[in-house]
Amino acid sequence: MAKSPKYKSIGVNTDTYEKVVHMAHVERRNISTQLAILVDEAYEKMNLKKSNQPPYRTRKRATAIVGGLSAVVDN
């Protein structure tokens, strides 16, 4: 079994991204460190424990199908 990568990509809207970048700049951190600190603080504030978290699940990737979609139109 392949070892999972150390980093994962996530998508955030542009407004959130710009806020994190601004916060990181003010705190003189890189973006990933700033985000890690924010998440760690929120995680602790919510009093969550890693041992209680559900297992990480990835979405199944779509498989390519040869051909295409078609529609039948009845008159």
Q: Where are the chain's structural domains?
A: 14-51
Q: Please give the model's pTM, rounded to 2 decimal places.
A: 0.60
* Residue 38 pLDDT: 95
Per-residue pLDDT of the chain (75 residues; tens, 9 = 90+): 567 678 888 899 999 999 999 999 999 999 999 999 999 999 999 988 877 766 666 666 655 555 545 445 565
* Residue 6 pLDDT: 84
* Residue 24 pLDDT: 96
* Residue 34 pLDDT: 95
Rg (C-alpha) for the chain, rounded Å, is 20
Identify the CA nearest to 38 among candidates 58, 55, 16.
Answer: 16
